[in-house]
Amino acid sequence: MAKGDCDWVSYLSSAQRSALVENGVRKIHYKLPDGKEMVEEYNISTDVIQRRMWKAFDPFRGEKWNVELGDPLAQLDNVDSIGIKENSTAPTLTKRITKKSIEWRIRNLPYPRDVYSVEADDEGITVRTSNKKYFKKINVPELERAGLKTDNSLLSFTHQFNTLIITYKKPTKVTEMETKILEMAKLVSPTKVPDLKDAPSECRPS
């Protein structure tokens, strides 16, 4: 959905919403009119979102939650729960939000900083290396939902400890949109745990 912040806020406000507060985290479960389901998790102390997930169906594993933002859900360490493991040395991408920026970390990239090129384009952010060892397209749904294009002047990156850290300064329009959604989330009264049984859990067995 990329029609601007008013449409995105209206889209979420049209959902059936439930909330759970535990361990310093406010979890908001959205059941949207088009059948989609999303969960957002906020740090209660900072009001910063730390995870966003969308419900999906995997033909091999059944129901699953795709993490758009934040660390992946913890998995039980057995074949039934994780299937085939990824190579632990393969590059891995994670994303987080701060009050002022959107940040991506790509781990397991051992090349020196001058090898990397990180640029904004109409499709998001493109990461490539001059040695042709790595290439990645990163979309930025926060900008799409606010009806904005990526802007190179807001983009920066550093490299340390085999990790490429990409930072995008949040435009005012994105910050305002996040504030509206947070205010809406705070209006949802926390419910009992059983009422959120469909929401993802860090320790749910497979």
Q: DSSP for 145-187? A: HTT----GGGEEEEEETTEEEEEEEPPHHHHHHHHHHHHHHHT
| Side-chain-side CA neighbours of residue 166 (13 Å) | 26
Q: Where are the domains of the chain?
A: 8-69+90-187
Q: Is the pLDDT score of 111 beyond 60?
A: yes
Among residues of the chain, what percentage have pLDDT more than 70?
83
- The whole-number pLDDT of residue 72 equals 86
Angle at 105 between CA 199 and CA 141, to 5 degrees: 55
Q: Is the pLDDT score of 84 beyond 70?
A: no
* E strands present in 32-162: 37-43, 49-58, 62-69, 92-97, 101-107, 116-121, 124-129, 135-138, 155-160
Among residues of the chain, what percentage have pLDDT more than 90?
74
Mean pLDDT in the chain? Answer: 87
Q: Of 40-44, 84-88, 109-113, 157-161, give the lowest mean pLDDT range.
A: 84-88
If we measure between CA atoms, which residue out of 48, 43, 51, 50 comes closest to residue 24?
43
CATH 3.40.50.2300 fits 8-69+90-187, yes or no: no
- The whole-number pLDDT of residue 191 equals 78
Q: Of 102-106, 178-182, 197-201, give the lowest mean pLDDT range.
A: 197-201
| Side-chain-side CA neighbours of residue 70 (13 Å) | 18
The whole model's pTM is what? 0.82
